[in-house]
Amino acid sequence: MTIDEITLNFSPSSLMLLNAILAIVMFSIAIDLKPDDFKRLGRNPRPVLTGLLSQFVVLPVLTFGLVLLTRPQPSIALGLILVAACPGGNISNFITHRAGGNAALSVSMTAVATVGAIFVTPLNIAFWGGLYGPTRAILQETAVDPVQIAITVTLMLILPLCLGVLLNLKRPDLTARLRRPLQILSFLIFVAFILLALMANWSFFLGYAGAVAALVVAHNALALSGGYLSATVAGLSPFDRRAVTIETGIQNSGLGLVLIFAFFGGLGGMAVVAAFWGIWHAISGLGLAAVMSRSVAAREVRA
- Looking at the predicted structure, is the pLDDT value of residue 92 above 90? no
Per mean pLDDT, which of 143-152, 231-240, 281-290 is the most reliable? 231-240
- Looking at the predicted structure, is the pLDDT value of residue 243 above 80? yes
3-state secondary structure of 143: coil
Of all residues in the chain, the percent with pLDDT exceeding 90 is 25
Each as own residue / partner, the long-range contacts of residues 291-298 (CB below 8 Å, 24 or more positions apart, any chain) are 292/99, 292/100, 292/101, 292/242, 293/98, 293/99, 293/100, 296/99, 296/100, 297/100
Q: Mean pLDDT throughout 123-140?
A: 90
Residue 88 pairs with which residues in a beta bridge?
251
User: Is there a contact between 276 and 209 (Cβ–Cβ < 8 Å)?
Assistant: yes
User: Is there a contact between 81 and 125 (Cβ–Cβ < 8 Å)?
Assistant: yes
Query: What is the rounded CA–CA span in Å between residue 242 and residue 50?
Result: 12
Neighbours of 117 (CB within 10 A): 25
Q: What is the pLDDT of residues 177-194, one digit of tens each?
A: 887 787 777 767 766 766
The confidence score (pLDDT) of residue 179 equals 74
Q: What is the pTM of this model?
A: 0.82
The confidence score (pLDDT) of residue 82 equals 94
pLDDT band at 233 (very low <50, low <70, confident <90, very high): very high
The confidence score (pLDDT) of residue 215 equals 92
Per mean pLDDT, which of 24-28, 104-108, 234-238, 296-300 is the most reliable? 234-238
Walk me through the domains of the chain, giving residue ranges and CATH numbers.
3-302 (1.20.1530.20)
Outline where DSSP puts E strands in the chain. Answer: none
Residue 267 pairs with which residues in a beta bridge?
7
pLDDT band at 296 (very low <50, low <70, confident <90, very high): low
Q: Mean pLDDT throughout 136-162?
A: 76
Compare 95 and 180 and report the one with higher pLDDT: 95
Q: What is the pLDDT of residues 16-60, one digit of tens each?
A: 676 777 777 778 777 777 777 666 667 778 999 999 999 999 999
Query: What is the rounded CA–CA span in Å between residue 41 and residue 44?
Result: 5
- DSSP assignment string, 238-255: HHHHHHHHHHHHSB-HHH
Q: Mean pLDDT throughout 132-158?
A: 77
CA angle 236, 219, 102 (to 5 degrees): 25
Rg (CA), the chain: 18
Query: What is the rounded CA–CA span in Å between residue 55 and residue 85?
Result: 8
The confidence score (pLDDT) of residue 4 equals 55
pLDDT band at 168 (very low <50, low <70, confident <90, very high): confident
Compare 170 and 78 and report the one with higher pLDDT: 78
Compare 10 and 218 and report the one with higher pLDDT: 218
Q: Mean pLDDT throughout 272-296?
A: 83
- Looking at the predicted structure, is the pLDDT value of residue 291 above 70? yes
Average pLDDT, the chain: 81
For 267, phi then psi, to 5°, come to -55, 125
Query: What is the rounded CA–CA span in Å between residue 78 and residue 22?
Result: 22
The confidence score (pLDDT) of residue 197 equals 65
DSSP 208: H
